[in-house]
Copies of this chain bind each other. A is one copy, B any other.
Amino acid sequence: MKIVLAQTKFHKANIAKNCEVILQDIENAKTKNVSLIIFPEMATTAGYVGTLTQYSDFEIELNKAFESLKTASKNIDILIGSYNICNNQFRNAILLFQNGEMTHLLNRADTKNYTSKFSHKNTDFEVCFYKNIEQISNSKSDNFIVYGDTPFTINLRNQRIEKLQNIAKSQKIRTIYINNVGAFDNEIFDGGSLIINKNGEVIKELNLFSEEIYLSSNQEDIINKDKNYAEEYLILEALKLAINSYFSTIGARKAVIGLSGGIDSAVVAAVAVLALGAKNVHGILMPSDFSTDHSISDAEILAKNLGMSYDTISIKDAYKSVNNSLDPIWKEKKFDVTEENIQARIRAIFLMAYSNKNGHLVLNTSNKSEASVGYGTLYGDLSGSLSILGDLYKHQVYSLAEFINSEKEIIPQNSITKEPSGELSPNQKDTDSLPEYDILDAILFQHLENRKSGFEIVEMGYNREIVEKILKMIRRNEYKRFQYPPIIKISEFAYTVDRKMPLNWDI
């Protein structure tokens, strides 16, 4: 029995194009006498498409695809994840196309039936979604097919291998895991489809973060050695995949980044160059009266190390002009956060102007620590098409920088070691208004990821005043995150997608 795992890239909401890809994969499989081809979850639409399912052309396109798959299934069985109508609603389902007919096997939303069975070549197969595998017991089937339905997080790969090995071993069942690869909006699917034998040994792990069509002859005997990946490697590959998917979906190729000489913009530039190629990434240095010499030279060295082009545009004249225009309306003129924000917003004007003129997408450079406490200027440095680091705490940005530098210095060491500064006022340091990042990140992690209340964090030994200040900053800055660019999700608790908070509240 020859089975193909089609870990193929699909196109968001484009049923016709995905159907073409699927039919091509099927044709290729037929030439190799494959009897069963397995496509991942929501293959016809590349994930959820929300309100689009309420339009009649969605149903028309989907039915067309199903008709093609019925026809294609006359000499091969096709197992595929797709939207399908169930009780008048489109549901995330697993479908089997066999002998020209379609069978609806399973709904992901079904809370009563966690698995469904089908027979192929006199062998029993049982399918289920990954989220429900812990509900499974006493399977009497020969093969278990688990549908990956969980977006990438740093620990996902190791967790799923362990869980699936346990299932295979405890139930003595050959287990196949089929996953998507690609990024849809800000969620990443990391591939890494699996075949695990009934002893719980990993026979095959398909590519992480890239496509692979794998032909399994059911006779594999090479046990993969257990690979281990550094956390930073997984994050880097995930970010690259997300950037590439975002750009290719909208037909863009080029990115522009404001280079400050600091670590965040340096890491974003490095990741963008790794994802898109140096010739597709442009930097803009935008020094001000408060920029230090090393900021400019660090940014220039970075651009040269990466082989990317850059321009330098001083914001001094525009800053002076904006201030002169505003001066007559101020009752008293005193430098405060207003003027800091004006600088950040002029930089955003320059970046967006470059984007408008040349078609480059602006990449946002702020990180999760900053997003949490609102350290950044709305419509200034918080702008951009896509936030690359918005789900990485500052300490994770440092680790990623070290990882990128592991073979040779790409990010100037000075950007890594110098004290972080917004450089928006004389001798400004991040620590003027924030605690040290190691303390900030630890408190944020307890509050966000571990859902610890303030008093619980204080009980762990953190300073009450600092904890209360940080929690208040998180609460007060929900409005900035409301208008944030989409953030690439890499944690289990990413802003925008995983955290649903009142916009304003009354405490």
Q: Give residues in A with beta carbon < 8 Å to B.
A: 11-14, 17, 46-47, 49-52, 54-58, 184-186, 246, 249-250, 311, 313-315, 317-318, 320-322, 324-326, 328-330, 336-338, 341-342, 345-346, 348-350, 352-354, 356-357, 378-379, 383, 385, 451-456, 479, 482-486, 499-507
Are B50 and A184 in contact (CB-based, < 8 A)? no
Other-chain residue from B342, B456, B500 in contact with A51 (beta carbon distance below 8 A) = B500
Q: How far is the CB of A46 from chain B (nearest CB, A)?
A: 8
Are A250 and B317 in contact (CB-based, < 8 A)? no
Are B453 and A56 in contact (CB-based, < 8 A)? yes
14 sampled A-B residue pairs with Cβ under 8 A: A11-B506, A12-B502, A17-B506, A49-B502, A57-B453, A58-B453, A249-B505, A250-B504, A313-B325, A318-B321, A326-B350, A329-B354, A341-B356, A345-B349
**Contacts A348-B345, A383-B379; is A329 near B311 (CB within 8 Å)?**
yes
Give A456 to B501 CA distance when docked, in angstroms.
Answer: 38
Q: How far is the CB of A326 from chain B (nearest CB, A)?
A: 6
> A14-B507, A185-B503, A341-B352 given. 9 additional CB < 8 A pairs?
A246-B504, A321-B322, A325-B350, A326-B350, A330-B357, A342-B353, A345-B352, A379-B383, A486-B503
Give the 10 A-B CB pairs with smallest separation, nearest first: A50-B500, A321-B321, A13-B505, A338-B356, A11-B506, A57-B453, A379-B379, A12-B505, A14-B506, A185-B503
Q: Which residue of B lies closest to A361 (CB)?
A: B479
Q: Which residue of B lies closest to A478 (CB)?
A: B185
Contacts of A184 in B (CB 8 A): 502
Contacts of A453 in B (CB 8 A): 55-58
Are A14 and B341 in contact (CB-based, < 8 A)? no
Give A189 to B345 CA distance when docked, in angstroms.
Answer: 36
Give A341 to B349 CA distance when docked, in angstroms.
Answer: 9
Contacts of A454 in B (CB 8 A): 57
Give A186 to B338 CA distance when docked, in angstroms.
Answer: 27
Give A294 to B346 CA distance when docked, in angstroms.
Answer: 29
Q: Which residue of B lies closest to A341 (CB)?
A: B356
Q: Which residue of B lies closest to A321 (CB)?
A: B321
Q: How far is the CB of A190 from chain B (nearest CB, A)?
A: 19
Give A350 to B318 CA distance when docked, in angstroms.
Answer: 13
Contacts of A482 in B (CB 8 A): 485-486
Contacts of A385 in B (CB 8 A): 479
**Contacts A49-B502, A50-B502, A453-B55; is A357 near B379 (CB within 8 Å)?**
no
Contacts of A46 in B (CB 8 A): 506
**Contacts A324-B317, A385-B479; is A342 near B338 (CB within 8 Å)?**
no
Are B506 and A13 in contact (CB-based, < 8 A)? yes
Q: How far is the CB of A493 from chain B (nearest CB, A)?
A: 9
Other-chain residue from B12, B58, B452, B506 in contact with A506 (beta carbon distance below 8 A) = B12
Of the candidates A13, A314, A483, the one having the most CB atoms from chain B within 10 angstroms of its own CB is: A483
Give A378 to B167 CA distance when docked, in angstroms.
Answer: 50
Give A153 to B383 CA distance when docked, in angstroms.
Answer: 32
Of the candidates A46, A47, A336, A356, the one having the most CB atoms from chain B within 10 angstroms of its own CB is: A356
Contacts of A353 in B (CB 8 A): 322, 326, 338, 341-342
Q: How far is the CB of A448 from chain B (nearest CB, A)?
A: 9
Contacts of A350 in B (CB 8 A): 322, 325-326
Q: How far is the CB of A139 from chain B (nearest CB, A)?
A: 27
Contacts of A504 in B (CB 8 A): 12, 185, 246, 249-250
Give A330 to B451 CA distance when docked, in angstroms.
Answer: 49
**Contacts A357-B338, A483-B483, A503-B185; is A315 near B325 (CB within 8 Å)?**
yes
